[in-house]
Amino acid sequence: MKFEEHTSLEESLQPILSVSEFIEYSNLLLGRKQVVVEGEISSFTVSQGKWVFFDLKDASSTVSCFSMLYRITTQLTDGMQVRITGTPRVHQKSGRFSIFVDAVELSGYGSLKKAFELTKAKLEKEGIFDSARKRALPAMPHCIGLICSQESAAYSDFIRILNQRWGGVDILLAHVQVQGQSAIQEIAGAFEYFNTAGTDAELLVLIRGGGSLEDLQAFNSEQVARAVFGSRLPVICGVGHERDESLADYAADVRAATPTHAATLTVPDRNELILHIGRMTRTIESGMDRAIEWHGHQLQTSLSHMSHRIAARIERFHFLTRTLSKGIAMMGTKIDEHTRSIQRAYVVLESSLERVLTAKQTAIDHLGRNLSNMNPLTVLGRGYSIVREGKKIIKKKGDVSPGSHIDITFSDGEVSADITKVQQQAPLF
Amino acid sequence: MTSKIKKEDSFKESFAELEKIVQEFETGEMDLDESLEKFEQGLALAAACKKRLSEIENRVSEIKKKFSAQLQDTPPQDGDATPF
């Protein structure tokens, strides 16, 4: 009775909903506020490569969760402790209560370590950490991109060391969250910006100060590691303290142990260069000194060589002059000697010639006298005569006959005659 | 910006030039005239480089943009489409 009364009273105050309306109404109430729930994952499944289902539980309760795969930015497996951010809702058809998960964060060292190992293995297999692909850094960059939190000690340390070491650098600062929900998207977004915006940056620096594994989560996420790997520009990554190593470090072209170290890798140290220039100056100066000394020495040597040579030539000249003089003198003497020889020879020749001529003259006279005796005219003078018949000289009586005409030559002239008779008698003598 | 880059490049060039001259002095193969010329050049370059190193400041400019990486897929309309 009471209940019926109660309900009829409530009826006048309460609207009556259909099941669908009730679910809709419930979702309206539930959907007003996002919740953050921490628990352990179990029954984690991925369906059709798109939908993610898991249960989130603690010691006494369990709640269903579902999400889209693209929202899950970290490796998840059963047993991991996580913190999910999402909206509770009731499924229209089944009335099933679940949380629609917007984002998942790992919580607890164990989960984080596990996720880290899984992601690392996955990316390593893909070659994201290969040393062969790591690029060289430009030596003296004019312009760099800096991805970090502007409010962090990492940023101020980096800038301070950079200023100490070098000047003339344009630093394009991309201020991002380095932990928390939006860190991964912002960091990845910054890399995307530098890839596409066409800035003058020649390299990128990604830095973050020290923190727990939970704080450094974003730098161990697959998305950030891929963003670092896929950067068009070379990347220096310096996250955490020296002993911290993040997946972003592994994926980077150069790993810095700390943000300060990153500054030393980005630019050279001007003081070191100034010292180096000093050393180079001294090398040039001493090189110059040596050159001058060497050339001076060369010059000395050349000069002394030259003066030796000249002296030698002068010496030779004198020697030749003396030799020449001697030679000329000797020649004079010889000429005199020869002249005297010639003169002597001439005298000898002359007297010989005289003797020869005299002898010849005597011989000629002798021959002359002989010749004179043989002169036919002389013979004719003695009574002989030459008988000719024509031109022919008659020596024998037989040569003529009576009637021949002959010419007779006497010492004083010629007569002509005719032969009358040829005597038969023998000559008297 | 380009003129600044040119200035920086000329520093790099000057520095490289200086190192080259030092090497020539180390090998010691030059004649006196060449040595004198390179000596003067080297000292001038060293002075210019030193001056350049001592003077310039760095400049930070913040990129005024909110960074957010593109998500891989566009989300579907509604949780009601879930197949359970």
Task: Report CB contact under 8 Å: B80, A175.
Answer: no
Residue A144, beta-bridge partner list? A171, A203
CA distance A98 to A85: 13
CA distance A257 to A239: 7
User: Which A-chain residues 37-66 have CB contacts (< 8 A) with chain B?
Assistant: 47, 50-51, 53, 66
Closest residue in A to B12 (Cα) is A140
Q: Are A270 and A165 contacting, i.e. CB atoms less than 8 angstroms apart?
A: yes
Please name which of B74, B65, B1, B2 lies closest in space to residue A191, comparing C-alpha atoms: B65
Q: Which residues of A touch B84 (CB under 8 A)?
A: 53, 66, 91, 94, 96
Q: Which residues of A touch B68 (CB under 8 A)?
A: 182, 185-186, 189
Instruction: Give the pLDDT score at A300.
Output: 87
> Tokens standing for A73?
């930015």
Per-residue pLDDT of chain B (84 residues; tens, 9 = 90+): 455 555 556 788 889 999 999 988 888 777 778 888 889 999 999 999 888 888 778 889 999 888 877 655 444 444 445 544
* B30 CA: distance to closest CA in chain A (Å): 8
CA distance A202 to A138: 7
- pLDDT digits 0-9 by tens, A237-289: 999 888 888 999 999 999 999 999 999 999 999 889 889 999 999 988 888 88
CA distance A169 to A263: 12
User: Which A-chain residues 273-332 have CB contacts (< 8 A) with chain B?
Assistant: 273-274, 277, 280-281, 283-285, 287-288, 290-292, 295
Q: Which residues of A touch B6 (CB under 8 A)?
A: none
- pLDDT digits 0-9 by tens, A57-74: 999 999 999 999 888 878
CA distance A285 to A290: 9
When mean pLDDT is compared across A1-5, A93-97, A167-171, A212-216, the lowest value belongs to A1-5
Nearest Cβ partner for A186 among B28, B56, B68: B68
- pLDDT digits 0-9 by tens, A398-417: 888 898 899 999 988 999 99
Task: Report CB contact under 8 Å: B73, A50.
Answer: yes
Q: Are A224 and A184 contacting, i.e. CB atoms less than 8 angstroms apart?
A: yes
Instruction: Give the pLDDT score at A181.
Output: 77
Question: For chain A, how big is the Rg over CA atoms in Å?
Answer: 74
Alpha-carbon distance values, A128 to A123, A156, A229, A242, A421 (Å)? 5, 30, 6, 22, 174
Give me the amino acid identity at A85.
T
Q: What is the mean pLDDT of residues A221-230?
A: 95
Q: What is the mean pLDDT of residues A113-138?
A: 93
